[in-house]
Structure 1
Amino acid sequence: MTAEFTPGRPIVFRNATILTMEAGGDIENGDLLVVGERIAAVGRALAVPDDAIEIDASGGILMPGMVDTHRHMWQTALRGFGADWTLSQYFVFYYLTWGKIFRPEDIHAGNVLAAIEAIDAGVTTTLDWSHGLQTVEHGEAAADALRTAPGRFVLAYGNLLGAPWEWANSKDFRAFAERMSGARDEKLGFQLAFDVTADPAFPERGAFEAARELGLRVTTHAGVWGATNDESIRLMWDHGFMTPDVTYVHAATLTDDSYQRIAASGGTVSVSTESEQSAGQGYPPTWQLRKHGIPVSLSMDTSVWWSADLFSAMRATLSADRSREHLEAHAAGETVVHNRLRAEEVARWATVGGAQALGLDGLIGSLTVGKKADIVLIKNDDSPAMYPLLHPYGSLVFQAGRGDVHTVLVNGEVLKHAGKLQPGPAAALASAKQEVARTLDYARATMGDEAWREGMAPEIPSTERIQNPYTYTDFDGGDDRHRAQEA
C-alpha cells in the first residue's frame, strides 16, 4: 500500500464521519477527495478519478490536521527532564543556568524530533516558539530543521538570553528575516516571539516596531503569574501594539480589563492547559475567554514537561473549564445543570482556532474545498475505545489518543498511514534520534553528573501535617470494622 502513495495521485477517503469544522458541515458516511495539494471535493458517494487511491475510513473520524500554536520545539531533546519542575525551576534552568549551553545543532536535533512527533500525533501545523536562538546561526539551524522535516510549521524567533528590542533590530537578524521572507515557503511561516516585562519605559517598543516593519505577527507570553501581568497589556495598548496580529500565550492571570483589551483589539489566546495546571502560570483561562468572546487556540508548551499531542490538550482544557464552572457554582451554593463548553468547540479550538491564531485560516483548519489537504483520519479497529462512534466530538476529545491516528496528510502528501509513519518520516525519525543522542551526551557532559541529577530531581519541600483529632482503635480483624474515637 505504501508504494501506491505517489506524488500527484488522487486520494479518496470513503465512508468516514467527517468533521469539517465548518458550521453545519459534518457528514456521516462521507467521502473526501484530495487532488494534488488541495481538497477537491467533500460529500457522499463522490465520483473520483480512475487512478485515485481509496482509503477505507469507515468507523473512523476524518478531521482537519490539528494546529499547535505554542511549542518550544528545541526543548524536545530533553523530553521529560523537567517532569517535576515548577515554573521558577524552569526559568532557573533555561534562563539563568543551562539554556546558554545549547548549540545550533542541539536546536536542530530537538526541532526535528518534535516535528516528527507532531505528525505522528495528528498535529499537522506547529508554531515553534523558538526562544533558544542565541545567535542567527541558531535561527538558521531551527529553520533548516523545520524546512526539511515533514509537516507545516511557523518559526517564531526568540532569544531568551537577549533583549528583543536589540536582537530584533540587529543587522544579522534583519538579514535572516529577509532570507526567510525571500524563501516564500508556504509550509514554513515566520513570526517574532518575545515577552513584555511591564517595565514602565516599555523597551519592547523596538521589537514591536521591528515586527510591524517586517510585516510579522507577534506571539507573547501574557498573564503568567510572577512574570507578565496586566501592566504588560496596558503598555501594549497605550503604545498601539495590540492588534489582531498578536497571540497571547497562557493569559491566565489577567483582569477583566485586560481581557476586554484583547477582545477589542482582535487578538487571540493560546491556552496550554497541561502547562498552566502543572507549572502555575494561572488557572487555564478558557472560562474567562469565552465570556469575553476571545478566539482560543490550543498548545502543548514543551515536552521537557508534558505530552506533545493535542488530544491531551483538548481533554485537559475541557475538564479544566468545566471544573471551574462547578467550583464557581459551588462557591455560590448552586449546581451546574448544563455544561456551557462542549466537546465540539474544543475540537474547533484545536483545528480552525489554531489556524486563525496563525493567520492561516484561509489555507488550513477546516475540510473545505480548495483548502490545503492537511487531513487526519482517526481510526483504530483494534481499539475497543473507538467503538461505537455515537458522539464523534466526544469520542475525539475524551476517547481518542495518538495511537488512534491512522492516516496523516500535509499538503496532500501521505506522511502516516495505517498507524505507521511512511518511509520518509520514519527515516527522519531514525536520524533525529541519533542527533538527540549526541545532544544528550553533550548536555550531560557539560552540566556534569551532579547538576544533571539535581536538575531532574529538584528538592521536595517538607509537608506540614494537619493535626488529626481522630485515631483508630479497637481494630477487630474478624469483622473488619474501625471505630473512630476522639483523641
Structure 2
Amino acid sequence: MSEQADRAGRAGATVLRGGTVLTMDGSRTVLPGADVLVVGDRIAEIGAAGTALDVPEGTLEIDASGGIVMPGMIDTHRHMWQTAMRGYGADWTLTQYFVWYYLESGRHFRPEDVGAGNTLAAWEALDAGVTTCVDWSHGLQTTGHAEAAVDALRGVPGRHVLAYGNIQQAPWEWSASPDFQAFAKRLLAANDDMLGFQMAFDVTGDPAFPEKAAYEVARDLGVPVTTHAGVWGATNDDGIRLAHEAGFLDERHVFVHAATLSLDAYHRIAATGGSVSVSTESEQSAGQGYPPTFALRRHGIPVSLSMDTSVWWSGDLFSAMRTTLGADRSREHLDAHARGDTVTHCALRAEQVVEWATLGGARALGRDDALGSLEPGCKADVVLIKNDASPVSFPLLNPYGHVAFQAQRGDVHTVLVNGRIVKQDHRLVGFDPAAVRRDVENTVEHLRATLGEEAWQQGMNPDVPETKVLDNPYQYTDYRSASTHEA
C-alpha cells in the first residue's frame, strides 16, 4: 500500500473525488462530479456536484473523475467452497452437477479443501467489487469443515454470510446435532458484523415434511433460512406450500432460483415478504428453469442477484446484471411475439438490475439500513469503477447502463469494505496469490488422486448414470416426486 494510503489508514478517512455517484437511495439519485467522504467504517458525507468537500487532515484522496462510485455489490448465493474447481463443469447440466457433488465426488472434500475454495472465492469477489457474499456452504459434512470455511472467510477482508448446509446428510439430522448447534451458537454469540449466519437446506416436497425439524432449529436460533426452490425436478411448489402452511415463511426467507413455480407458490412468497435470489447465468444454462425475473416483477417479489458457482460461470455480478437484463427482455419479446405483438418499451431497466445487485441484496439480508446504498451513516462498502486506459470507459452518458452493459471486473479501480481499502489502482491489497494458488492446487491434486485420472477427466464431460437424479438428487431421503414425468 502507498505511503499516502498508510497515512489514511491511521487517519481513518478516505475521499473519492469527482466521480459520478450512484447513491442507490430510494430515488436512485445520480450525482455527477461529487465527492464521497468515508470516515472510519461509515459514509460521512456526500458532496454536491462540483463542490469539493472539506476533509480531515491526512485523508487519502482518490481521483474518481471519469468514473462511477457505487455501493459494494452483494451476492446472495455463491457456493464458495467449489471455487477451487473453477471452470471444471463448463459443459455440465444440472443433473451432472448433482451427480458429481451430491451423489459421487463431493464427499471427498476435506476441511482444507473447503477453506481453499472459500479463500479463492472471497478474493475473487472483492476483485469484482462484490463486497458481501452469502457463502451457500452446503459442503459442510462436519463442523470441522464449517470451522475451515469460517477461518477462510475471516482471513479475507470482505463481508460474508455463512449459510450452513450439508448435502450429504438430511437437514433434520445435521441441524439437530449437538456439534452443529454448538457451532452456530458460538458464531452467533460473536456478533460479528462482518460475518452473518443463515441455515441452508432444501425442501423436497415430501408430504411428511421432515424438513420441519430443521426449520424449528432455525426458528429457535433466530436465523434466516435460504433454500433452493423452483428447481426443475428437485424442489418445487410443494416445498413452499408445506413451509408456508407450517408458518415458517417470513421476510427473511431467501428462495434461490424460484424458476419453475406455480402462481400459488409465487403468491405464498409474496404474501410472506420473502425474496428471490436469481442466478441468471445458472438458470439459463444448467436447467433449473427460465430465469424468473419477469414473473417476480409481476408479483412484486423482491429480487437480489447471485452467480451460484465458479464451477461453471463467472464470479462477478456484472455478468449477472447483463444476463438478467437479456433474459428478462428476451422473455418479454418472446411473449409479445407469441401474441402477434411487439415490445416498444423495455419493462426492466438497467437501473433496476443495478439496484438488485446492491440494495436488493442488502434488503434480502435485512441490512438495507446499513448496506447497499451510499448515504451518510451507511457502512462504507464502496466501489469505484474507473479505467482510464480503456476506450470503453468513455463517454460516460448513462451510468446505470454503463455498469450493467459496459463495465467488467478489470474496470474495478478501488474497493472499500467497512471503510478499509481492499483494492486500489486495480490491485487487491494484501492478496498473496502464490499462497492461495498453492492451497487450491493442493485441493485439485487431492481430488484427482482420490478419483483417479480417468474419472477426473470424464467428470468434465460425463455421461449421465442410471441414477434417479432427475427426481431426487438428495441421498438422505427416498422420497421421489412424479411431477417431472407427469409434466
TM-score of the aligned structures, taking structure 2 as reference length: 0.93
Paired residue type of 2:108: I
Quote the residue 2:232 is aligned against: 225
Letter of the 1:357 partner, please give it: A
* C-alpha distance after superposition, 1:111-131 (max 9, x if no partner): 000000000000000000000
2: CA distance between counterparts of 1:3 and 1:350?
Answer: 33
Partner of 1:447: 451
Partner residue of 2:21 out of 11, 18, 21: 18
Q: Which amino acid aligns with 1:369?
A: P
Moved over 3 A (4+): none
How far is the alpha carbon of 1:430 from its aligned partner?
2.7
Q: What is aligned with 2:396?
A: 389
Residue in structure 1 matching 2:254, options 247, 256, 267: 247
Q: Encode CA deviations 1:106-153: one digit per residue, 9 max, x unaligned.
A: 000000000000000000000000000000100111011111212000
Greater CA deviation, 240-249 or 42-51? 42-51
Look up the match of 1:63.
70
CA-CA distance at 1:308 after TM superposition: 0.5
Look up the match of 1:480. none
- Give the corresponding residue for 1:372: 379
Alignment deviations for residues 142-174 of structure 1 (CA, whole Å, 9 cap, x no partner): 011111212000000000001111111110001
Aligned position for 2:473: none
- Residue 83 of structure 1, aligned match among 90, 110, 134: 90
2:34 corresponds to which of 30, 33, 38: 30
Q: How does 1:26-175 map to 2 (within 5 A)?
A: 26-44=30-48, 45-175=52-182
Structure 1 contact 8–36 (Cα < 8 Å) conserved: no
Q: Which amino acid is 1:108 matched to? A: G
- 2:45 counterpart letter in structure 1: A
Which of 303, 306, 321 is 1:299 aligned to? 306
Cα distance in structure 2, aligned partners of 1:5 and 1:141: 31
CA contact (8 A) 1:407 1:414 kept: yes
Q: CA shift at 1:458, angstroms?
A: 2.5
Check the 8 A contact 1:39/1:368 in 2, yes or no: yes
Amino acid at match of 1:34: V
The aligned residue for residue 3 of structure 1 is: 3
Instruction: Among all aligned residue pairs of Structure 1 and Structure 2, give the percentage whose two residues are the same amino acid.
Output: 65
Tell me by how many angstroms 1:459 deviates.
Answer: 4.6
Structure 2, gaps ≥5 residues long: 465-487
- Maintained 8 Å contact 1:8/1:35: no
CA RMSD of aligned residues (A): 1.2
Code of the aligned partner of 1:323 = S
Question: Deviation of residue 26 (structure 1)?
Answer: 1.8
Task: Give the aligned residue type for 1:126.
Answer: C
SS of residue in 1 equivalent to 2:34: strand
Write the distance in 1 (CA, Å) between the matches of 2:58 and 2:452. Answer: 58
- Given the alignment, which residue of 430, 436, 440 partners 1:432? 436
Which residue does the alignment assign to 2:204?
197
SS of residue in 1 equivalent to 2:313: coil
Q: SS state of the match for residue 248, structure 1?
A: strand
2:485 matched residue in structure 1: none
Q: How many Å separate the matches in 2 of 1:182 and 1:295?
A: 30
In 2: Cα distance, 1:433 partner to 1:183 partner: 30
Paired letter, 1:451: A
Matched to 1:452, the amino acid is: W
The residue identity in structure 1 corresponding to 2:228 is H
Amino acid at match of 1:418: D
Q: Does 1:311 align with 2:318?
A: yes
Partner in structure 1 of residue 357 of structure 2: 350
Cα separation, 1, equivalents of 2:302 and 2:3: 41
The 2-side partners of 1:165 and 1:308 are apart by 31
Residue number in structure 2 paired with 1:238: 245
Amino acid at match of 2:332: E
Amino acid at match of 1:406: H
The 1-side partners of 2:393 and 2:346 are apart by: 24
Pick one of 187, 198, 202 that aligns with 1:180: 187
Higher radius of gyration, 1 or 2: 1
- In 2, the alpha carbon distance for the partners of 1:193 and 1:132 equals 11
Listed one character per residue, the Cα deviations across residues 433-475 of structure 1 (whole Å, up to 9, x for unaligned) are: 1100101110000000110010012359xxxxxxxxxxxxxxx
Q: Distance in 2 between matches of 1:144 and 1:362?
A: 27
Deviation at 1:2, TM superposition (A): 2.2
Deviations 1:379-426 (A, max 9, x none): 00111111000000001100000000000000111011111112x1x2
Equivalent residue runs for 1:271-290 within 5 Å: 271-290=278-297
**How many residues were matched structurally?**
458
5+ unaligned residues in a row in structure 1: which ranges?
461-487
Q: For the residues of structure 1 that align with 2:37 and 2:284, how far apart are their CA atoms?
A: 40
Which residue does 2:223 correspond to in 1?
A: 216
- The answer to whether 1:330 aligns with 2:337 is yes
